[in-house]
A and B are shown apart, each in its own frame.
Chain A
Amino acid sequence: MTVTELTPRPHTQPPVLTGRGHDRSPKEHGFRAVLLTCLGIGIVFLAVLLVYVLLEGWPRLDLDLFRNQGSQISPATAGAQAAIYGTLWLMAGTALLILPLGVMSAIYLEEYADPERWYNRLIEVNIQNLAAVPSVVYGILGLGLVVRGPLSLGPVLLAGMIILALLVLPVVIISSREAIRAVPDSIRDGSLALGATRWQTIWRTTLPNSVPGIATGSILALSRAIGEAAPLVIIGVALTVTFNPASVYDRFTTLPMQIYSYAQRPQEDFIILSSALIIVLLVILLAMNSVAIFIRNKYQRRW
């Protein structure tokens, strides 16, 4: 602040003791209104989006959606059974990959790593950087190394699981670290004082106490992975698949991919179909987020 701003104002009005008088001036009210409008823009947009999708998709929210396979020819009866199965497979596989990897990395960084060592600092900075890398770049990684190139898996479920797991791993690590850090040191000291080794302390004391935080963070990360389409588009996942996957080496499609393919068609029937699938996808995501919030509110301990 410069000095001139600190000089007292001329007394054009009676001295205000509470400060409230100033806050009632039109300028103050105007500023407040502008801020509220900013907040409102996001919320109104969200409301319009949800209402639009609900109104458009409602007529097609029928059993055909779950019973029939995708089709580019008959949108009036087409479904997305393979896409729903693909999404569930992907969810399970990605969870199996991110939980052990994410929690183990978090334990190492919180409980073992000496932050003075250059390699530990490198890991930490790298995780922050990875969290900001666009998802399309993970698709490139998958295309170059997993789907083609060294691993050459092809655009199958396993490839999708690996790529989505790598994509959300930084998020899982960061939230698991926070959960582990929230357990107070006195708890650890108590365990160590009773003669437990470092690992016994982590396994029987620290980790059980951070499970709710880890679960919440992982479910939220998983819900982000499930909604991703960009990396799957890049690795060449099929837009429409007419059979349900039976193993991780099968080709697959997912709800976001199916929505992407239908959304490219301007016909009204396809808009309705896309909207119906968006409702299904949003309900799945809403359910996952609700579970995450429920776990956080119910089991999270405050120390």
Chain B
Amino acid sequence: MSGTTQPSGAGVSLRRSQPRYGERVIEAVLFVAALVSILTTIGIVVAIVGPTIDFFREPAVTVWDFLTGTEWTALFAEDQQQFGVLPLVSATLVTSVIAMAVAIPVGLGAAIYLAEYASPRARSLFKPTLEVLAGIPTVVYGFFAVSFITPNVLQSFLEVGTFNKLSPGLVMGVMIIPTVATLSEDAMSAVPQALRDGAYGLGSTKRQVATRVVVPAATSGIIAAFVLGISRAVGETMIVALAAGNQANLSLNPLELGQTMTGFIAQAASGDQPTGSIGYESLFAVAALLFAITILMNFVSIRLVRRYREVYE
């Protein structure tokens, strides 16, 4: 050592001695794999937009008639076809409202219980049980709606036919309970204990803490859960295809049958419409509307979450 404090290796570069091309290639390959998800979105848009444009170019269709027409007979013989989407929208609206009327209160109630009342043991028992509901295939729910709920439950005290909007709506609501409950509970569990302790210190009861402190503090997460639930209800296909009926029907009466947007897509697709026919194109136009609605709701949910988000340490 010559008296300087410099380390002896000061002249040695710590950079890699040779370029690692292999590492670069690997990173590029991984990036391409991550791009598959972008390609999926582009694929969805491309698949929907082309036939939708063709659909609106047809002489029998205008955008205005499509959005405001009250008759939907897209799969009828050519001279009887009507392309007003409102009957399909009305059925989607009714089934989704019924589903959310079940899923929002019940899911939120279950979430408050799990987050604020349940002992750790009870939670570890109830939460997975509730999540089993989310794992059951939707075709099973559809079967249950049409062969049990409608004939054995609804028809015992209501005047309803084999197909109606109430039964699929109710079953869809139960299906969405775990979505709402799990996401809301996560949001409530993230509320810091100090807020609860503060409220208890002021003499609040458990119920007051839950409803006036925890739920308001978790609003953003709870709203996101609701919106995700709605978009699941709007997009759900098998339950309505089996239990709501296959006939477009402009009606807000839940006891009447009706065909939802997704129900029509399923029916038109399984009917083997030839490529390029107006029936085939109408399927994509309805899908475009459905896709636009769900994207819009995702967007609203992200905005709402941002606006109401409370950030805790």
A residues touching B (Cβ–Cβ < 8 Å)?
A: 1, 5-6, 9, 16, 19, 22-23, 25, 27-28, 31-32, 34-39, 41-43, 45-46, 48-49, 52-53, 100-101, 104-105, 107-109, 112-113, 122-123, 126-127, 129-130, 132-141, 143-145, 148-149, 166, 169-170, 173, 197-199, 223-224, 227-230, 233-236, 239, 256, 259-260, 263-264, 266, 271, 274-275, 278, 281-282, 285, 289
Min CB distance A203 to B, Å, is 9
Min CB distance A75 to B, Å, is 14
Min CB distance B206 to A, Å, is 5
Nearest CB in chain A to that of B206: its residue: A23
Contacting pair B139 A259 (CB below 8 A): yes
Q: How far is the CA of A12 from the CA of B22 in the complex (A)?
A: 78
Most buried by B among A113, A197, A223, A234: A234
Contacting pair B117 A136 (CB below 8 A): no
Chain A contacts for B177, CB-based, 8 A? 41-42
Chain B contacts for A199, CB-based, 8 A? 22-23, 26
Chain B contacts for A149, CB-based, 8 A? 47, 275
Contacting pair A285 B135 (CB below 8 A): yes
Partner of A259, one of B33, B35, B140, B202: B140
Partner of B38, one of A122, A134, A260: A122
Chain B residues numbered 250-275 whose CB sits less than 8 Å from any CB in chain A: 262, 265-266, 269-270, 272, 275
A43-B129, A137-B290, A169-B40 are known contacts. Are A38 and B30 too (CB-CB below 8 A)? Answer: no
State whether the Cβ of B192 lies closer than 8 Å to any Cβ in chain A.
no
Min CB distance A237 to B, Å, is 9
State whether the Cβ of B178 lies closer than 8 Å to any Cβ in chain A.
yes
Contacting pair B130 A34 (CB below 8 A): no
Contacting pair A49 B144 (CB below 8 A): yes
State whether the Cβ of B298 lies closer than 8 Å to any Cβ in chain A.
yes
9 shortest A-B CB distances, which residue pairs?
Answer: A134-B235, A38-B109, A227-B137, A144-B47, A104-B33, A108-B30, A35-B113, A230-B237, A22-B205
Q: How far is the CA of A276 from the CA of B30 in the complex (A)?
A: 44
State whether the Cβ of B287 lies closer than 8 Å to any Cβ in chain A.
yes
Chain B residues numbered 283-313 whose CB sits less than 8 Å from any CB in chain A: 283-284, 287, 290-291, 294-295, 298
Contacting pair B203 A38 (CB below 8 A): no
Nearest CB in chain A to that of B261: its residue: A136
State whether the Cβ of B207 lies closer than 8 Å to any Cβ in chain A.
yes
Q: How far is the CA of A173 from the CA of B30 in the complex (A)?
A: 12
A126-B41, A144-B284, A230-B237 are known contacts. Are A42 and B48 too (CB-CB below 8 A)? Answer: no
Chain B contacts for A282, CB-based, 8 A? 136, 140
Q: A129-B295, A227-B136 are in contact. List 8 more A-B contacts (CB 8 A).
A: A28-B207, A104-B33, A199-B22, A234-B265, A259-B140, A266-B147, A275-B143, A281-B140
